[in-house]
Structure 1
């Protein structure tokens, strides 16, 4: 991703998702997290509040979100910081404001536990962590309309030279991915002879490639490009994979009015130029 404009605090190349979670003040027990400020009910779940718009919120006046928080420049917690930042963070602040709500975030949660958490209900209203809209995921939850397009990127050391799928698709080659992602699905389908290694997050995958533990890693192209430019300068996007994915916000099937209101707000931000402004801020270009 060319000309990234956010350079105030590039990620430490050895920071994993667990460090991000620690900075949030919580461990990785994603399904056991309680919503910020919500009072527990007798069965251990958070009380819900019916909004004037007809949808249910975990906490009145708040839109509670959950994210992996280890996927810059979409969302992350800067090294030494405590508040999340990124494209999706700014986007959700703006969307919540349009709905007359205040955006609040749960502590960072492992990516592949977010959809089950939203489906379960009572902990968070939305899941926002670069979720590609897929039919398989739609069996469990609802998605808003798309707010960002993306492809996949395969990252390898610059010293490895020119690579191809054929060179990587051999026994003994280890390819790192983030567990539960479309990157993992792509590797399993297109590099079946190689060994797919699922990890907690993209930071761990990139660090593993940098240290020689894995031959390559695959994740969303905007994130791979950003990390190669900002933190892992000895790595490069060796292959751009045109998967044509679209990101959506994860919402419970029991909260369809919230999905509709978010869709309306997303359309407004796209038409008034706000989405383009946020893309320029975080990616240095519009995607």
Structure 2
């Protein structure tokens, strides 16, 4: 998965872990707050770009991995990174940024963020610019179609000469192009869903967990149908600056521990849904 730019330089969003700070009246705003004192060390000697914080770059919204709820950013990725922040004895601070910066590692290399967590597929191209944690999620693509289109698969969509959409700069868009489509590109997952609702396209290719999240809404379930599951063998990872071995290892340990002690499964069921068959 990847997402495209929205023309901003980044905005901080309060997270569940910052609730206590907010209660004291300290407001997190775009850019660095007065409490930021520059680079520092967290527990275990891990370097962080802001003292007392683990700054995470993401691109909103992308439910169920990260999205705003009641003024805070929540989701599966957020919850996993909170575990890492706890290990480092800091709080997670989320910065909403253009996704194109993740492909080049720009926000990591410039010191704006410690890591990127945004439902990011590990690819050889991206690994040239950044380092990834071990995979934490096996992702598949899905074809979501309007019920009135009658589309049942990508082949069916092509045969019926229906319009396909995808989120720009994503692996879903890449897959559609490899299958011979020229998909309509949308800048965000919200725009993808709106494209379906307004009839700009008849179906879209996007990550399956996102489709799961959308179909939990009764209005969406009434209009759209999961036409096809597409196993592309993708795996998500968290990004760090190339060479940031200590933070990468801390991420790996947190993921491994969460899977071993059952925390991962609990978070999966809370934010995504039932565990895939055979996973425990």
Q: TM-score range by the shorter chain?
A: 0.7 to 0.9
Distance 2:43 2:66 in 1: 30
- The residue that corresponds to 1:12 in the other structure is none
State how 1:29-178 maps to structure 2 within 5 Å: 29-30=9-10, 34-35=31-32, 47-51=38-42, 53-78=44-69, 81-106=70-95, 108-115=96-103, 116-169=105-158, 173-178=162-167
State how 1:120-269 maps to structure 2 within 5 Å: 120-169=109-158, 173-190=162-179, 192=180, 194-230=181-217, 232-233=220-221, 234-269=223-258
TM value normalised by structure 1 = 0.79
* RCO comparison, higher one (Cα < 8 Å, 6+): 1
Deviating above 6 A after TM superposition, structure 1's stretches of 4 or more consecutive aligned residues are none
Tell me the number of residue pairs that the alignment of Structure 1 and Structure 2 aligns. 253
TM value normalised by structure 2 = 0.81
Residue by residue, what CA displacement relative to the aligned partner does 1:164-184 show, whole Å, maximum 9, x if unpaired? 222333797432222221111
- The residue that corresponds to 2:20 in the other structure is none
Distance 1:147 1:197, change over 3 A: same
Gaps of 5+ in 2: 13-29
CA root-mean-square deviation: 2.6
Following TM superposition, by how much is the alpha carbon of 1:92 offset from its aligned partner in structure 2, in angstroms?
1.3
Following TM superposition, by how much is the alpha carbon of 1:29 offset from its aligned partner in structure 2, in angstroms?
2.7
Please say which of residues 28-37 and 204-213 is displaced more in the overlay: 28-37
Distance 2:111 2:31 in 1: 8
Following TM superposition, by how much is the alpha carbon of 1:55 offset from its aligned partner in structure 2, in angstroms?
3.3
Distance 2:215 2:190 in 1: 11
Please say which of residues 177-186 and 159-168 is displaced more in the overlay: 159-168
Gaps of 5+ in 1: 1-16, 22-26, 41-46
